[in-house]
Chain A
Amino acid sequence: MTYVIVGSCIKDDACIEVCPVDCIHPKPGAADFETAEQLYIDPQVCIDCDACVEACPVDAIFAEFELPEKYEYALDLNGEFFGERSTAERTAG
């Protein structure tokens, strides 16, 4: 299971501040932060603690099993962001 951030994210970073496992990216200051259209949750790191859901001011975070139909695309999208990111990190060095 994982939590998922959907496209209505406004990049308020309140979720990043409360995440106990640091699984929400990109973080302010990261190279890809400014160009990112939203924040994403790394499904391989998320521990389903629910803290980010409370923190989000625009209710843009859902538990995977509660994801509304119109946001179903977002589950793969979050994972894909981290897939590409690790490729970029590997090739950058």
Chain B
Amino acid sequence: MAGTRPRVAIVGAGPAGAFAAAGLLRACGDVEIDLFERLPTPWGLLRGGVAPDHQEIKRLGDSFDRQTLKRGCRFLGNVEVGVDVSHSELMLHYTAVIYATGAQTDKSLGIPGEDLPGSWAATEFVAWYNGHPDYRGLEFDLSSQRAVVIGNGNVAVDVTRMLTLSARELERTDVADHALEVLRDSRIEEVIVLGRRGPAQAAFTSAELRELGHLDGVSIRVDADELELDSVSRRWLADAGTFTARKNVQLLREFAGRPARPDARRRIALRFLCSPVQIRGTDGVEAIDVRRNEIVRADDGSLRARAVDEDVETIQCGLVLRSVGYRAVALPDVPFDERRFVLPNQRGRVRTPAGEPLRGVYAVGWIKRGPTGILGTNKRDAEETVSCLVDDLRAAALPQPPTPGREQIDALLAERKPGLVTVEGWRAIDGHELEAGRSEQRPRVKLASRDELLAAATTTAPSAATTHS
């Protein structure tokens, strides 16, 4: 690496991209990093995914800031790679490109009625209440008395909590103002959460489940019938079950034993061994049909849900949130594994479909391993990718890009993207939001449209912009 410093573009400023930038700076300080981001704001799902009432987790943003932007890593926001600047252009200007674009869409259920008005991907609801500018215009109708959440992961639990928290609780969070207004007038009294498999197989963490059982003025109901573990699950839980699975079953039993609470403001019902088979309605969601499952051990040893019979139960509801997982989408001009929905890669080194290494191209986070794990999982994932990249740099396996300095990419971006948001722009946005939050005793008041964000980015940051109160 004698002479010029390596220049690395990271595409996507979410947790995976941030951990990769931080890891790269730690592993080889003498490197220029540009963090490209489609939105005017960094940190991805930390801002747009983590629930507004989980502010403590959002503090990770301070740590990302300290380890990346404050150490010279540049933020290039409001620039979409593949639209504003192409992959091959990046390859002309950078020694290496790391894709950290995450999983931007949701898995579908593949059942009739899925596309009826009132049936939404839970991720759309999440993006909307978290102020993601692309989702601001969505109109959620919360005028019915019952909502059904399909899925048993932490996103399902998050949206259930958001539908049951009181206006007073929501007002203390950084939920987007447009969402606060709608949630304040919500007439939903009951949220039913449907799990395809049994209580022992639920994917939510016991921390999220415990929290659901301790919401102020909200009752939680679990049918003792559905908690009865079948022999396959019982054996699995005893032999191979995780600490979390045992805790979940224990918590669910405790919930099932609670007396009814007629005074509850809202109700949550957790149902297990139920698969949705059809969403009914003419102009919008009116009901959902579910079928009863049992747990069977598949040939590969995994525990699967199988329909017990053809009997169908109809649950009346006006809102359905489908939360059965994220899915990545292909990026222009880079290989994509259409079966696993990731960039084909080995330990983060991207490969062509034929298995050849694609020199200088790397992947990290959900686009590398699929949408699994929690925030910290990306740290180890990033360490793996970064160590491959550093090895390649040390082995002089990556040629210097044709353009010698940063001036050329800056000139290209200036021409293509007048609304580019740099770190100063982000600090101005951050300062504006924190300042607005202080006067309302909220952690921040989010700017939730691109226009507002871009306008704030061009104003001067208040002096207290970079510190939390």
Cα–Cα distance between A37 and B248 once the two chains are bound (Å): 12
Q: Does B379 have its Cβ within 8 Å of any Cβ on chain A?
A: yes
Residues of B within 8 A of A6 (CB): 207
Instruction: Give how many B residues have a beta carbon under 8 Å from the other chain's beta carbons.
Output: 26
Cα–Cα distance between A11 and B206 once the two chains are bound (Å): 15
User: Which residue of the partner chain A has the closest CB to B58?
Assistant: A58
Q: Does B311 have its Cβ within 8 Å of any Cβ on chain A?
A: no
Q: Are B244 and A7 in contact (CB under 8 A)?
A: no
Band of interface residues on A:
20 to 34
Cα–Cα distance between A48 and B419 once the two chains are bound (Å): 50
Interface of B is mostly: helix
- Knowing A28-B380, A37-B206, A37-B207, the reply to whether A10 touches B375 (Cβ < 8 A) is yes
Residues of A within 8 A of B247 (CB): 77
Residues of A within 8 A of B373 (CB): 34
Q: Which of A9, A12, A73 has the most CB of B within 10 A?
A: A12
Residues of B within 8 A of A86 (CB): none
Q: Does B414 have its Cβ within 8 Å of any Cβ on chain A?
A: no
Residues of A within 8 A of B242 (CB): 32, 35-36
Q: Are B210 and A12 in contact (CB under 8 A)?
A: no
User: How many CB-defined contacts (below 8 Å) exist between A and B?
Assistant: 65
Give A53 Cβ to nearest chain B Cβ, in Å: 13
Find A7's partner among B211, B243, B246, B377 (CB 8 Å cutoff). Answer: B211
Q: Does B59 have its Cβ within 8 Å of any Cβ on chain A?
A: yes
Q: Are B56 and A12 in contact (CB under 8 A)?
A: no
Find B244's partner among A37, A59, A60 (CB 8 Å cutoff). Answer: A37
B 364-386 binary contact with A (CB < 8 Å = 1; else 0): 00000000011111011000000
User: Which residue of the partner chain A has the closest CB to B205?
Assistant: A37
- Knowing A58-B56, A84-B243, the reply to whether A70 touches B206 (Cβ < 8 A) is no
Cα–Cα distance between A58 and B376 once the two chains are bound (Å): 11
Residues of B within 8 A of A8 (CB): 54, 56-57, 207
Q: Does B60 have its Cβ within 8 Å of any Cβ on chain A?
A: yes
Q: Does B214 have its Cβ within 8 Å of any Cβ on chain A?
A: yes
Residues of A within 8 A of B243 (CB): 32, 35-37, 81, 84-85
Give B303 Cβ to nearest chain A Cβ, in Å: 14
B 203-230 binary contact with A (CB < 8 Å = 1; else 0): 0011110110010000000000000000
Q: Does A50 have its Cβ within 8 Å of any Cβ on chain B?
A: no
Q: Are A12 and B205 in contact (CB under 8 A)?
A: no
User: Which residue of the partner chain B has the closest CB to A12?
Assistant: B376
Give B157 Cβ to nearest chain A Cβ, in Å: 12
Interface of A is mostly: loop
User: Which residue of the partner chain B has the closest CB to A73?
Assistant: B210
Cα–Cα distance between A35 and B63 once the two chains are bound (Å): 25
Give A77 Cβ to nearest chain B Cβ, in Å: 8
A 16-45 binary contact with B (CB < 8 Å = 1; else 0): 000000000000100010111110000000
Cα–Cα distance between A6 and B207 once the two chains are bound (Å): 8
Q: Are A7 and B210 in contact (CB under 8 A)?
A: yes
Find A57's partner among B60, B214, B244, B377 (CB 8 Å cutoff). Answer: B60
Give B69 Cβ to nearest chain A Cβ, in Å: 15
Cα–Cα distance between A84 and B238 once the two chains are bound (Å): 11
Residues of A within 8 A of B211 (CB): 7
Give B384 Cβ to nearest chain A Cβ, in Å: 11
Hey, which bits of chain A sit against chain B, CB under 8 A? 6-13, 28, 32, 34-38, 57-60, 70, 73, 77, 81, 84-85
The 9 closest A-B pairs by CB, nearest first: A7-B207, A11-B376, A57-B63, A37-B205, A10-B375, A12-B376, A10-B376, A35-B242, A37-B244
Hey, which bits of chain B sit against chain A, CB under 8 A? 54, 56-57, 59-60, 62-63, 205-208, 210-211, 214, 242-244, 246-247, 373-377, 379-380
Supplied contacts A8-B57, A37-B206, 7 more A-B pairs, CB within 8 Å = A7-B208, A10-B60, A11-B374, A35-B244, A73-B210, A84-B243, A84-B246
Provide 8 A-B residue pairs closer than 8 Å at the C-beta atoms, listed in order of the A residue. A10-B57, A11-B375, A34-B373, A57-B62, A58-B59, A58-B60, A77-B247, A81-B243
